[in-house]
Amino acid sequence: MRVNLGFGSHNSHDWERVLAEDFSHPPATPDWECVQGTLAIADLAEPLGFDGIWMPEHCGTPYGMTPNPIQTLSYFAGRTERVSLGTFVVVAPWWHPVRLAHQIAYLDILCNGRYTTIGIGRGVSKGEFAAVGVPREESRQRFNETLDILELALSEKRFSYEGEIFTVPEMSLRPEPQSRDLFSRIYSSSSTAESLEILARRGMVPLFVGNKPIEDAGREVQQVNIFRKEEGLPPCQPKNVMFMYCTAEDPARSEEWIWTANRDVTVHYGFADASNFRGVKGYEAYAAREASATAVLASSVTGDRNARPSKTPGYHSSNLLIGTPEEIFNRITAAQEACSFSELTIVPQFGTMPYAEAMASTRLFAKEVLPAVHEMNAPLHAAALPENALA
């Protein structure tokens, strides 16, 4: 099975300043140091034998800090020869579809066809949508029209389009992409049942990013394959992203990093305030996360460790690869059996984990775990097939 490294540049120690709205002084750690720490770990991917480098899209807060994943992957296209490249994810509503198609096509040329996972999503954060001037109420329509335009642009020599939001005159992508199968490389990330069905019926393969129990993700794979069967499509396997800390010592210190990673998710996306989602078309399901998220935010602001809830929104424990090399290998095996993923991307730095610690963890994983995972089969298990669904 293929294993990639995935990244986001987090300045998690800066959240107290941001939450207190105290901008009278700069972050204790400059953002550029976090970005350079991320790039240094990603530079390990090819020499350590990983199969790819993946990047997300985030801006405006200490979370993720990768405002253009295609730009970052272009950087690595020039620094590597072998590894594939992926996005988890490009947030489609923030882009004009023609510009996005051109950037995908250009990266395809720069990396000689190695942009193999074009992960795209709809976006969630109220603040990020506001920062780029895109109404969240339009996100689903923008996302659907962007998929329409990408399919035309990446498959046809000439194309045009007229939708509710975007109108594209007859044109061609110039330069044309090197690869002619780019649209088939698009994977979709969704967090609602409605989006999952819409995307599955148009042939999109899921990309899961650690935000749900692995067993739930497995049931969603089966549901996707039910929809695909109804549309005359063959069954598919998702790609999964899981968060990793590999250590030969007691992994207990990772608890703080996990908690801060979940805190980062909560405050960045605004999960602690249901008004961020209530009544917003396409985001109604997110309002239900308010109760547990509010507790996370309160303890973040006060700094009271004793007030921290034991269960927090964010990365589900079944998507955390935390422990010794043997424990991590067993977790990967169990997760693949539960979810039938064909390819795994591990995220080696999250929350307040020091970048040096993440680098050491990545090296240990590459030495002790990666060879065995490379030898693993990644089958589509029977539980993920439509015929095994309960009536």
Q: Mean pLDDT of successive 10-residue segments in the chain (391 residues)?
A: 98 96 96 98 98 97 97 98 98 98 98 98 96 96 97 98 98 97 95 88 91 89 97 97 96 94 95 91 78 49 52 72 97 96 98 97 98 97 86 47
Which helix H or strand E contains 147, and what residues bound it? helix 139-155
Q: What is the pTM of this model?
A: 0.93
pLDDT of residue 317: 84
* Residues 185-210 pLDDT 10s: 999 998 788 889 999 999 999 999 87
Q: How many CB atoms lie within 10 A of CB 295?
A: 19
pLDDT of residue 295: 46
Which helix H or strand E contains 99, and what residues bound it? helix 97-110
pLDDT of residue 210: 72
Give the whole-angstrom CA distance, residue 366 versus residue 48.
6
* Residues 242-288 pLDDT 10s: 999 999 999 999 999 999 999 999 999 999 899 999 999 988 888 77
- DSSP letter at 67 equals S
pLDDT of residue 254: 95
HSE on the CB side for 46, CA within 13 Å? 13
Give the whole-angstrom CA distance, residue 20 versus residue 5.
33
**Please, what sign has the CA dihedral across residues 55, 53, 218, 198?**
positive
- Token readout for 153 is 């642009």
Which helix H or strand E contains 5, and what residues bound it? strand 2-6
pLDDT of residue 284: 85
Tell me which fold the domain 2-377 belongs to.
TIM Barrel (3.20.20)
pLDDT of residue 289: 62
Phi, psi of 119 (to 5 degrees): -80, 130
In whole angstroms, how far apart are CA 63 and each of 56, 130, 154, 286, 352? 11, 16, 31, 19, 11
pLDDT of residue 390: 57
